[in-house]
Structures are given as C-alpha cells and as structure tokens.
Structure 1
Amino acid sequence: MVRQCQGCQMQQKMPEKVQLHPWENARSNFERVHVDFVGPFQGHMFLVIVCARSKWAEIEDMGNCTSAEKTVNVLRTIFSRYGIPKQLVSDNGVQFTSDLFAQFMKNNGIFHIRTAVAKPSTNGLVERLNGTFKSRIRAMKFDKGDLNLKLANFLLTYHNSVHQSTQKSSAMMFMGRILRSKLDLLKPDTDGNVEKQRMKLATSESRNFREFKEGDSIIARDYRPTSTEKWLSGTFLSREGPLMYKIDIGNNQVWRRHVDQLRKSEMNNELPRRESSPLNMIPLNLSEMPVMTERNDPLLVTGNPEKMPSLNENKRSDQMLMERRYPLRERKPPNRFSY
C-alpha cells in the first residue's frame, strides 16, 4: 500500500548509498584530469586541475571571470605544458556544458565525462583538493604576501607532500624528482660538501704548486728498467697542461712527465744524460722517427739506414743493438692538444 501511495512515495528519504566504485587507474600521467571551480573564495574564483595518476595539481586564479572562453584559454595553456589528456572529468557547470567548451573537447580529441548533478563525490579527487586548498589558504591568514604568493607556497608544499593513495609525492610521480624547497637548506648537501672539500684541498695555502719556466734546468724521474739512475737531467721545453710538461733530455729526445715527477736542479752537468732506451721518448723531428730495417734485421736505427753513419763514427748511445719485441709497423708520435 505504501509503494502504491503517491503521497508516501513523494516523502521518501534518500536510498542507501551504494558501495564505492573507484575510477579506472590511469596508465600514464595526464591521461585523465579532473577539473572544477572553487569560489567565490576570498574574492576570487579558482580553476583546479588534478592529474588522476600522479595527483599533480594546477590551480589558476580566474579573478572574477569564469566564462567558457577564459576557461578554454586557461586549459589550453596548461595542456601546452603537459600535453592533451585523453579524458576530462568535470561537473555540469555552465562553462563545461557550453557549445564552445564542447567544440574545444572535440577539436583536441578529449573525451568529456560529466558527473551526475548534485553528486560531487563522483568527482571526489578534485573536490578533496578543493577542501585542502581552502583550509591551507585560511591558515596563512597572518602570513605576509598577497594571495598569489600564498597560492604558490601551497602548490610547492602540496607537490612535495606524500599522497595517501600513491604513498609518493605528486612531484616524484609526475616529474621523477622532489622539488627543491627552503626545507632543503636544513638538509646536508652531500655533493656540495664534497665539492667544497675538493676546492679547499686544491686551493690550500699549505699545498705548493711547482711550476717550471722555459729554460729551467730540470731532473726527470727515469722509469726505464735498464737505467741505473733514478733521475736524468733535462731542460724545460713546453707545457702541455696544468701539470704536464715536456722535457728535452738531449739527442733530440723528449719525455712527457707529470710535475710530481720533475725537480729543479742546478747540477745538470753532474747528472747522467739520456741513455739509449726509447721508453717514453718522443723524437723532436718526425723525419728522425725510429724505423725498422728489413724484417730479419734486429737493428733499430734512426732515419735512412743507408745514410746512417756507424756507431763508432757518431758515438751516439741511442743506436744500440736490441732484440725486436714487436712486429714491423710504422711508428708515429701521438697527436696531443696544446693548452
């Protein structure tokens, strides 16, 4: 009888709410966005946009104008930053039901989903952000700065805050990193501390940097296994880098040595000169490159073998007999950059 009574049916309460039905999970950032208007709030209207996957939020101050034309312009600017979404969820506001907005959705290939009338929970993602936004702005009542400054501070904090559903911040989900904020000034800067320590060691007054000038008498460390002396006298020739030098050790031979392998000396006449081993030596003249004779000849000679004088004539110690260790090949000095 009650179900058939028209008066009784018109006085029924709302039915029991159905079980919550979640939205499908978005597979990529900005694939589905939820939009809504907030206001009037502190004399302004705000357009709120939330990414369904990363929970990244954008809040635009619309002033007192919420027309469909301005809404389209703001959304077009946001889409130019992050790309055009596949789906857009909104309520049934006049801006979202206008022909201009429908044409904008069609031209960009966006599927527009409108929630049920007077059912804000359907668009609960953006509705929940609306409440958080208004409560945080009210909490900044006694802070200095205008509304735009407070809005910027809120967005920076919100993007770095861990979201309950993802257990990650929206900045990490959307950009793959945490946004730097003033709170980072209280955290130890590992990379910065390492760089400062390196620069401190490099510029320490207690560390003496040895430098050589052209014509300085120098002794260079001798690393040849056949050498009987640790040091060999030479003369500064050129500088290849901040710490790398070329040293003339006589007989048209040059060594490359690090500054830690060189020392100044006034005893060049008393120290041994270059021996015959070609280890780490670079000829000054390319025409005097060491070349190999015929394949079965074990001699290492300089220049043209036919024009070379005998060892007894020039008495040069660098024309030693040595056993061949490497196959026949054309030997060239390396091309090095000059600083």
Structure 2
Amino acid sequence: MQGWPEAVGEERFKPYAKRKLELSVLDGCILWGSRVIVPLPGQAQVMEALQDAHPGVSRMKSLARSFVWWPGMLRQDCFWSHPWQWPRRAWSRLHLDFAGPFMVQTFLVLVDAHSKWLEAHIMSNITAAVTTDKLRGIFAIHGLPDTVVTDNGATFTSAIFKEFMEKNGIRHVCFAPYHPASNGLAERAVGTLKDALRKMTGHSLETKLSRFLFQYRITPHTTTGVSPAEMLFGRRPKSHLDLLHPDIEERVVRGQDTQKLRRDQHAKDRVFQPGDHVYVKNFATGLPWLPGVIQHQTGPVSFVVDLLDGRQVRRHQDHLHDRYDAGGEARQRGAHKNRAFSPAGSVEVPQTPEEDQSTPEEPAAPGTPLAHPAAPGTPLGQPAAPMLNVKLGLPHRG
C-alpha cells in the first residue's frame, strides 16, 4: 500500500495522520522532523535512559522533545517520575518534601497521590521532632495514610521519624539517592508552590500561602479533571466565586426569617400546661368556643383538651384561650365536675353543696329585665351584653 488512506478510522493512527506531511523514513526509522518516533515497546526503555541524567522534570521533558516523540508523550506522568501506581483510595499514599530556604522560610510540602490534595506548612526548623509534630496535626484531621514517600534526608532517616512511622503503622518508602524524579509528585508541588508565592504581591507570607492553597484545592487538577477538595472530601467547598450565582433558596430563607421576626414582635406568648382551663375553638356546628381542660401536650404547640361534655379534641395553641373564673384568675386547676354553663358556653358557675341547699331566690318583679348570660371573659357579677344585640351587632343599651 502506498501513501495514506483518505480517512483514518482508528484513533491510534490519527496523531500520525495529522503529521503525515512532516513524517519521513531514514534507515528504517520513522522521523517527525528530526525526532525519532518511538513505538510502544521501546517507550519505557527510552524514558529510563532520560531519567538517568535527569536533574529535574522540566529539563527531562525538554531533553525528550529534542530527540524523541510519540503520541501523548508529555501527558504520561508515570514516565516522568517513579512508576508509582495510582492509589484507588484517597489519602492512601503521601509524598513529602521540604521546600526552601525560600523567602527566608522552609516549607513542609505534602501531596496526596490519589486526590492531588496539597498541604504546605511553614516550619520553624526541619528537625525530626518538629516534623513529626506537624504530621501528627495533619493526620489528626485527615487520618493515617498507608504509605509515606520521602527522600533520604537526615530528617526522614532519623530514628525519631522511623519510630513515628512504625507506631502509626505507616509504610515509609525512601527513593534512591540522587534521583529526585522518583518523588516527582512532591517535586512538582514544590515548584508550583514557589512559583505561586513568588508571583503574589502584598499581604503576609501566611496570608499568601493560605490563599494559594485554597485556590489550588478548589481548582480542577489536570490529571484527574476534578478538584483535589472534591476528590478528598466528596464535595466542592464554597468559595467567593459562588457568590456570583443567585441563590433562590437563600432568598426564600431570608424572607421567612423576616416574616417570623415581624410576627414575633407583635405576637403574644401563650404557655399552656395540663390542667389549665381553656376555651377551645369549635369547628363544628354550635357555639364558636367550648370550655374544657387541657389533658396533655402532644407537641410544641399542640394540646389534647377534655371538653366538659365528655369529648376529647386536639387543638393548636392558636385555637386555645384562657378561661377565667369569677375572681379573674386564669388557669384554674383541679376537678371540673358539677359545673353549670351559661347558654353561651362562655362562663362556668361552680356549684357547691351550700348552693344546692340554699333557698331559691324570689322571682323578679314585673317589668324587671332578666339577666343575660355573661360573654366570654366577663367575670361573674357584672351585667353582660344582651345576646340579641350581640348577635345582631346592635349597640347595647343599659
């Protein structure tokens, strides 16, 4: 077959098809410009050769661009560092390193290999005791990891650090000396931290560090496509950028709070207890208010009331009112037997044995108007408005 087909269907050949006019063959090797195209079986061997003399990730990539190429070469992070497997759980493998002295300070940098969550702390010194104290505080928030990867620095190889790892059941891995690419994740995090702090102006170093970490943690990572915070916590933390979006729920809640505040300013507190004498709103036919005694409370504002006719109803406190006796005292407690009620059902008249045995009163003189039952809330002994006038809405005439 000579030349290229009109359409390339397989995805693996499309990167080559885009460069078909720039490809050439020299002594059996396919070249893209002056760079040798390395097939899949030889890519790992080429990367090992590049890592042997690699002083840093960026320089190794620059060296690779000068000699070789294959599709997605620069996006394969596993080639540019130690061939660590991506952990399936968050906070399973952590990479540690020190950054500095930088801006007259030294930073402890920690990266979670799963979520890419970044921790950076200013250190007073980098002794093993201070470092383990700082790690103890971090682990108190996020929990213990399975593996910690560090270099062979004096802090990480000390007996104190080794004892700290063993007591917490953490596997400590030290990569080979003079090969920083093995801890490429922490190395890249150190470079990112320094670049960000160097570009930020104003404010203290602590403020700049906090702002950088917050922005880094809520920004989608290029490898996972998800922010480190979402990968680690399963949620996206709220930021000042969220304030740009209108929040209907917040507006509704504020409106409800305002309505409740206005109502509370004008509302009258009512507290009822079992045994209190009350009037109950009647939603059936008959009198609008019925006398009763509170039996027990079923909720914050709900009560069960025993009516004096033997029925039992449940009412909201808005449908209850205090019932007063002849002395004007509310919430008369005790038994409610042998009680007579006016036709309006608004006043109770206690009956005692003395009253039962008393001599009946003489009938009223001719022409004397009969006493009308008292209205709700009217103490005994006071004349009540005539029922006819009350029902018709007419003014009362004494």
Partner of 1:121: 181
| Correspondence for 1:234 among 249, 272, 290 | 290
2:160 equivalent to 1:90 = no
Within the alignment, does 1:81 sit opposite 2:141 as a pair? yes
**What is the rounded CA distance, in whole Å, between the counterparts of 2:286 and 2:240 in structure 1?**
58
> Cα 1:256–1:246, aligned 2, differ >3 Å: closer, same or farther?
same
The share of aligned pairs that are identical, in percent, is 35
Amino acid at match of 1:153: R
CA distance in 1, matches of 2:147, 2:306: 75
Q: 1:246 to 1:42 in 2, by over 3 A?
A: same
1:1-339 matched pairs, under 5 angstroms: 16-17=49-50, 20=79, 22-63=83-124, 65-141=125-201, 143-144=202-203, 146-204=204-262, 219-222=281-284, 229=285, 233-235=289-291, 237-238=293-294, 240=297, 244=302, 249-258=307-316, 269=343
Equivalent pair of 1:220/1:262 in contact (CA under 8 Å): no
- Tell me which amino acid in the other structure corresponds to 2:50: K
Matched residues in 2 for 1:99 and 1:206: separation? 65
After superposition, what is the alpha-carbon deviation per residue over 1:219-268, rounded to whole angstroms, capped at 9, x for unaligned? 5102xxxxxx365541364495675466665334443234676799xxx7
**1:211 Cα deviation from its structure 2 partner:** 8.6
Query: 1:274 matched to which residue of 2?
Result: none
- Distance apart, 1:150 and its partner CA: 1.6
Contact 2:278 2:321 in 1 (8 A): no
Q: Distance in 2 between matches of 1:101 and 1:246?
A: 68
Instruction: Determine helix, strand or coil for the equivalent of 1:133.
Output: helix
1:194-230 Cα distance to aligned partner (Å, 9 max, x none): 32232334445699969989877665102xxxxxx36
TM-score (norm 2): 0.52
Q: 1:220 to 1:243 in 2, by over 3 A?
A: farther
Which SS does the other structure have where 1:156 is aligned?
A: helix
Question: 1:132 deviation in Å?
Answer: 1.6
Unpaired stretches in structure 2, ≥5 consecutive residues: 1-46, 52-72, 74-78, 323-341, 346-398
Task: Note closer, same or farther for the CA distance 1:220–1:115 as it changes in structure 2 (3 Å cut).
Answer: same
Paired residues, number = 249
Unmatched segments (≥5 aa) in structure 1? 1-13, 223-228, 272-339
Preserved contact between residue 287 and residue 344 of structure 2 (Cα < 8 Å): no
Q: Greater CA radius of gyration, 1 or 2?
A: 2
Task: Give me the CA root mean square deviation.
Answer: 3.9
Taking structure 1 as reference, are residues 53 and 232 closer, same or farther at Cα in structure 2, changes over 3 Å only?
A: same
Q: CA deviation at 1:186?
A: 3.7
| Structure 2 counterpart of 1:126, one-letter code | A
